[in-house]
Amino acid sequence: MKPNFSMRLRVFNLNCWAIPYLSKHRADRMKRLADFLNLESFDLALLQEVWSEQDFQYLRQKLLPTYPSAHYFRSGIIGSGLCVFSKHPIQEFTQHVYTLNGYPYMIHHGDWFCGKAVGLLVLHLSGLVLNAYVTHLHAEYNRQKDIYLAHRVVQAWELAHFIHHTSKKADVVLLCGDLNLHPKDLGCRLLKEWTGLRDAYLETRDFKGSEEGCTMVPDNCYVNQKELQPFPCGIRIDYVLYKAVSGFYISCKTLKTTTGLDPHSGSPLSDHEALMATLCVRHSPPQHDPSSTHGPAENSPLVTVLREALTELDQAVAQARRWATCAGYVIGLGLLLLTVLCSLAAGGGVREVAILLWTPSVGLLLGAGAVYTFHMQEAKGLCKARAELQHVLGRAREAQDLGPESQPALSLGHQEGNRAEDQ
């Protein structure tokens, strides 16, 4: 690779809100999306909520001349909804399905059936290795009483962990998707602190679009206006995040969003706003990382967010175990009731009544067993994430005690992200 190597990468991200039979004007919006992507000819288009494989195949056919490479990530019962279209050949792809993803009995929310995941594509661009990730985290249905907060924190941690372990051979890391996290939310801060990813909206010097970079805005006719009442400008929950390793420098030259309207036809492409980023990558000579000389206090943001995450997971583990315990009591009572009913039926005294009560008793027992099994599984998933966070927090404390020389090994991803900012 030449010392004066430079490359421009144009990226498109959109949550398409393409739920079969439920999303308004889905077919028309898919058609207009395909026309727009062909017209703009991005290097990468990363999409979420393409729930129907028929919609993916339609886009695949329409975009084939411009985007010869594509992949649809399959998981769960309904699917992950994630897909990617690329002008460049895809060298490798894989995915990770999140351990926790809501509750199966919350059928009206539906996240549990989707199999939310993170997808990874590896591209080779003029000798540069690009790891591109696309994801969609659990939705936030009630910000005041958010029963899914711990699940999103675990998903954010698994996402950060997945990026950390799969990007060691990459020159550039790109993450796009609907995180369902506000910029200052715990999960968002945890993701950024552990991976060192930079936020395109905060880094770019040329932004055009919705106020404060919001990706769900009141001007969009598909948005639930009631949900946005506490946020007059809208909310920013969709992101383009990136970083480069030592030897490369990456910056966001421009970032644009739609503003509730399709730039060409006027009607929205989705209930979310699209993100369009132009990233510039070039060679940069290795430089001394000033973050390694700041002393023990440098790790304080990571330590703080790890402590917050552990507190949240401690509470979630206790609650999951309470639910499992309650279900266990119901199972015990159900077994006792079935024993009594069997005795009454065998005695013949009130046989008809016993037979009538048999079916609901069995249903109660099976339901309680399902609730017990799920919440025990939930508790184990939370404990797994908590153990990993405790280990990282222990390493961070050791780094503070030992001094600056131990910090590069601990926060390698965090420091690599800082290099792009410092150069």
Amino acid (1-letter code) at residue 127: G
Whether residue 369 is contained in a domain is answered as: yes
> What local confidence, expressed as pLDDT, does residue 382 receive?
97
CATH number, domain of 125, equals: 3.60.10.10
Residues 18 and 134 in one domain: yes
> What local confidence, expressed as pLDDT, does residue 357 receive?
75
Kindly list the distances between the CA atom of residue 169 and the CA atoms of 9, 96, 166, 245, in Å, as whole numbers in the listed order: 19, 18, 8, 9
272 is catalytic: yes
> What local confidence, expressed as pLDDT, does residue 296 receive?
41
Q: What residue numbers bound the domain in which 313 lies?
A: 301-400
Residues 6+ apart with CB under 8 A from 208: 254, 255, 256, 257
> What local confidence, expressed as pLDDT, does residue 417 receive?
52
> What local confidence, expressed as pLDDT, does residue 3 receive?
62
DSSP 3: T
Residues 242 and 95 in one domain: yes
Whether residue 418 is contained in a domain is answered as: no
> What local confidence, expressed as pLDDT, does residue 348 receive?
61
SS percent in the chain: helix, strand, coil, step 5: 45, 20, 30
Higher pLDDT, 408 or 271: 271
**pLDDT exceeds 50 at position 298:** no
Residue 415, both tokens = 């420091």
Q: Give the tens place of pLDDT for each residue, 5-55.
A: 889 999 999 999 999 999 999 999 999 999 999 999 999 999 999 999 999
Residues 349 and 377 in one domain: yes
Q: Which residue among 272, 283, 375, 391 is the active-site one?
A: 272
Residues 333 and 273 in one domain: no
The total domain count for the chain is 2
Residues 196 and 235 in one domain: yes
Residues 252 and 333 in one domain: no
Q: Give the tens place of pLDDT for each residue, 162-183.
A: 999 999 999 999 999 999 999 9
> What local confidence, expressed as pLDDT, does residue 419 receive?
47
Residues 248 and 311 in one domain: no
> What local confidence, expressed as pLDDT, does residue 261 receive?
75
- Could you tell me where the DSSP H helices lie in 84-229? 111-114, 149-166, 186-195, 200-203
Whether residue 77 is contained in a domain is answered as: yes
pLDDT classification of 360: cutoffs 50, 70, 90: confident
The residue from 228, 253, 283 where one domain ends is 283
> What local confidence, expressed as pLDDT, does residue 344 receive?
72
Ranked by mean pLDDT, the top range of 256-265, 282-291, 300-309, 376-385 is 376-385
For the chain, the average pLDDT equals 89
Residues 203 and 123 in one domain: yes
